Structure 1
Amino acid sequence: MNLTFGWIRDEDIHAWAKLTNQLALIDDSDEFYTAEDLLEELLEPGLDPKLDTVAIWAADEMIGYGQIRVGQQLRDEMCRVSLGGGLLPAFRRQGLGTKLLEILEARGISKATALHPATALAFDMWGHSVGHGAGILAESMGYTVARYFQDMEITSENFRQETENWNQTENLRVLPFSEGYSERVRVLDNEAFSDHWGSTPKTIDEWNAMTSARTFSAERSQILVGEIEPNGPEQVLSYILASEWTPGELYVARVGTGRASRGKGYAAKLLSSVVLNAFSHGYTKADLSVDAQSPTGAVGLYQRLGFSVTRTGAMYRKIVSVKEIDSRMHAPSATLEHG
């Protein structure tokens, strides 16, 4: 069968959505997207579909895809390049995955070098559960497991509400997320995630794209404001940002607390408030994804509220030195064209 490689165009969105939803069922990722969701991805700040996406076609069916996201800011003096994609099972183990990954790596090196010259980079790719073909492919290409992440979910039957009262001496207030607080939450988010593996600071454009996305739910997101010092200025202390990818299911996208406010139970009480609010408005479950080695002990917090693990997957990483980047930049790379 003749296969055609190209990039993902606006008119390919429905074929892309069909493929990603097939893969979500086949690989048990629970990552289902509408065409509208994926169109937003093509409009992300800094993304060029011709350079950052790959589509593999068998006649008029998209049977595989790939995409890269290059970090706009550095972490640990490295540029992070996230690689995503997948192939239908009938086309796996035929060398297509290797070819796709080679194309994505070449594109990632080119773009990362343009943004951050003379800087090492880290390729990160999702390997699904242990033994999945994606992880086997990653290992064959020099990647190693860097981290395990757990998907967790909760239903109203399992929910254990946090009952401890707020400390009223700190003049605490729980508010829905709003545009007026957005920039302060972004700054706090960058601080809160600065010690989390794989996280890079979010630019204003990246943050605005996330909080204006079709799936983002400001109504179900909450922030905690109060005083760090007695009679001090009001500050954002903690926040929960939520989305709704599947109708009736709340996805907890970001949970963060400023370092000066950690250890006071803010995140537990605020997340409890968010989950209770969701269930009271007819949501059937809430879910999230968490680093199994989170430095804040987040896994225990979620379990205390009643969240349970539904799946565990591995993130694979390969670090490419400046010297290797220089040598690979002079190697020929593939050119994608639509037939």
Structure 2
Amino acid sequence: MTLRWSTLDAGSVTAWSELTNLLARVDGTEEFYEPEDLAEELTEHGFTPAQDSLAVWDEDRLVGYAQVRAGLSLTHAEGWARVSLGGGVHPDYRGRGIATEMFDRMEPRGITLARERHPGAPIQLRSGGGLESDPVRPLLAERGYEPVRYYMAMKRALPGPPLAPVDERVETFTAEMLEATRLAHNDAFASHWGSGPLTEEAGAELVRGRAFRPEFSRVVVSGGEVLAYAMTQQWVDRELYVALVGTRQSARGRGLARAVLNAALVAASESGRYDEAELEVDSINPQGAGALYASVGFEPARTTAVFARMA
């Protein structure tokens, strides 16, 4: 078998989308992306496709891809430089050493990036381990990675179970609130494992992205400061994805996170555009977010793992 190794670019996004969506079905991750969504990834701040990606072709068929990202900021609590490795191999081409070769190429690139951006900082390599049945897990274990966190995807039907009336403290997110929301997010997640500050560039990319749904995103504002927020996206037809939910540490205990989330769900339900909503939560979130989501009708759907090792 002769394969051609190159990098991801604008000309590969259609094949990339087809492979990604195939893997979402075969591996059960349900992470579906349109070509336009993936095209945006190629222009992310701090990501250089020609150096930070791989595309593996069998003639005109994309059979594998990989991406590496080094965080632009250190993690809040640990002070780690994060390196995230992602990708996949077509089911028909597994067991041929493609994934091993991609790791061999991408790990050194990630470590180099991390050292350039954060000299002297400890480097953590992390990779998604998918569901328990995902074939990448044995490979990760062979390379010294261990499961370090589990994330639970939760869903609820729309309209589904009755929702509470919208809290009068809640208002619709607007672009002018972006910086205040970013600062609120960084405060809210300062104690979360492995979380790093959301940069200005990443915040801007979030709201510019074609998946972002400002009309269903909600905030609570006081004195010009965002106290709580729920930011929404749409990746799949008729499914609203709640990307970020949080409350400033000083504002906790007032029911604000529940208020913004409830308001977002009410708006989505009343729009008639969605059949369900989905979000993801750290299964050992220190703020007990799973209970919050369950209180507005979300139920567990699947659990995936994150594997990591120190470089």
TM > 0.5 fold call: yes
- List per-residue Cα deviations over 1:260-299 (Å, max 9, x = no partner): 1112211112211111110110111100111001111000
Is residue 302 of structure 1 aligned with residue 298 of structure 2?
Answer: no
Q: Check whether the contact 1:149–1:289 (CA below 8 A) recurs between aligned residues.
A: yes
Instruction: In structure 1, give the amino acid aligned to 2:8.
Output: I
Instruction: In structure 1, give the amino acid aligned to 2:294.
Output: Q
Q: Check whether the contact 2:29–2:131 (CA below 8 A) recurs between aligned residues.
A: no
Is residue 314 of structure 1 aligned with residue 305 of structure 2?
Answer: yes
Q: Secondary structure at the match of 2:215?
A: strand
* Residue of structure 1 in register with 2:118 after alignment: 116
Q: Given the superposition, is the C-alpha separation of residues 155 and 195 from structure 1 closer, same or farther in structure 2, using an over 3 Å criterion?
A: same
Q: Secondary structure at the match of 2:45?
A: coil
| Percentage identity across paired residues of the two chains | 36
Q: Check whether the contact 2:159–2:269 (CA below 8 A) recurs between aligned residues.
A: no
Q: Check whether the contact 1:159–1:307 (CA below 8 A) recurs between aligned residues.
A: no
Is residue 217 of structure 1 aligned with residue 207 of structure 2?
Answer: no
Q: Given the superposition, is the C-alpha separation of residues 18 and 77 from structure 1 closer, same or farther in structure 2, using an over 3 Å criterion?
A: same
The Cα shift of 1:136 comes to 1.4
Instruction: In structure 2, give the amino acid aligned to 1:174.
Output: V
Question: TM-score normalized by structure 2?
Answer: 0.96
Counterpart-to-counterpart distance in 2, 1:303 and 1:173: 22
Counterpart-to-counterpart distance in 1, 2:49 and 2:267: 38
Q: Greater CA radius of gyration, 1 or 2?
A: 1
Instruction: In structure 2, give the amino acid aligned to 1:124.
Output: R
* Residue of structure 2 in register with 1:238 after alignment: 228
* Residue of structure 1 in register with 2:129 after alignment: 127
Q: Check whether the contact 1:158–1:307 (CA below 8 A) recurs between aligned residues.
A: no
Is residue 47 of structure 1 aligned with residue 47 of structure 2?
Answer: yes
* Residue of structure 2 in register with 1:185 after alignment: 181
- List per-residue Cα deviations over 1:4-38 (Å, max 9, x = no partner): 11111111111111111111111111111111100
Instruction: In structure 1, give the amino acid aligned to 2:181.
Output: V
* Residue of structure 2 in register with 1:147 after alignment: 149
* Residue of structure 1 in register with 2:282 after alignment: 291
Q: Given the superposition, is the C-alpha separation of residues 33 and 121 from structure 1 closer, same or farther in structure 2, using an over 3 Å criterion?
A: same
Mark the runs of 5 or more structure 1 residues left unpaired by the alignment.
167-171, 227-232, 321-339
Counterpart-to-counterpart distance in 2, 1:74 and 1:217: 28
The Cα shift of 1:157 comes to 5.6
The Cα shift of 1:315 comes to 0.5
Is residue 274 of structure 1 aligned with residue 264 of structure 2?
Answer: yes
Q: Given the superposition, is the C-alpha separation of residues 159 and 104 from structure 1 closer, same or farther in structure 2, using an over 3 Å criterion?
A: farther
Alignment counterpart, residue 173 of structure 1, candidates 148, 169, 180: 169
The Cα shift of 1:119 comes to 2.0
Runs of 4+ in 1 over 4 A off after TM superposition: none
Counterpart-to-counterpart distance in 2, 1:286 and 1:12: 30
The Cα shift of 1:118 comes to 2.1
Alignment counterpart, residue 196 of structure 1, candidates 192, 205, 227: 192
* Residue of structure 2 in register with 1:102 after alignment: 104
Q: Secondary structure at the match of 2:40?
A: helix
Q: Check whether the contact 1:244–1:251 (CA below 8 A) recurs between aligned residues.
A: yes
Instruction: In structure 1, give the amino acid aligned to 2:156.
Output: I
Counterpart-to-counterpart distance in 2, 1:129 and 1:21: 16
Aligned pairs for 1:24-35 within 5 A: 24-35=24-35
* Residue of structure 1 in register with 2:87 after alignment: 85
Instruction: In structure 2, give the amino acid aligned to 1:299.
Output: G
The Cα shift of 1:234 comes to 4.3
The Cα shift of 1:120 comes to 1.7
Counterpart-to-counterpart distance in 1, 2:33 and 2:158: 25
Counterpart-to-counterpart distance in 1, 2:106 and 2:161: 42
Q: Check whether the contact 1:162–1:268 (CA below 8 A) recurs between aligned residues.
A: no
Q: Check whether the contact 1:7–1:55 (CA below 8 A) recurs between aligned residues.
A: yes
Counterpart-to-counterpart distance in 2, 1:131 and 1:244: 27
Q: Given the superposition, is the C-alpha separation of residues 157 and 180 from structure 1 closer, same or farther in structure 2, using an over 3 Å criterion?
A: closer
Q: Secondary structure at the match of 2:37?
A: helix
Is residue 136 of structure 1 aligned with residue 138 of structure 2?
Answer: yes
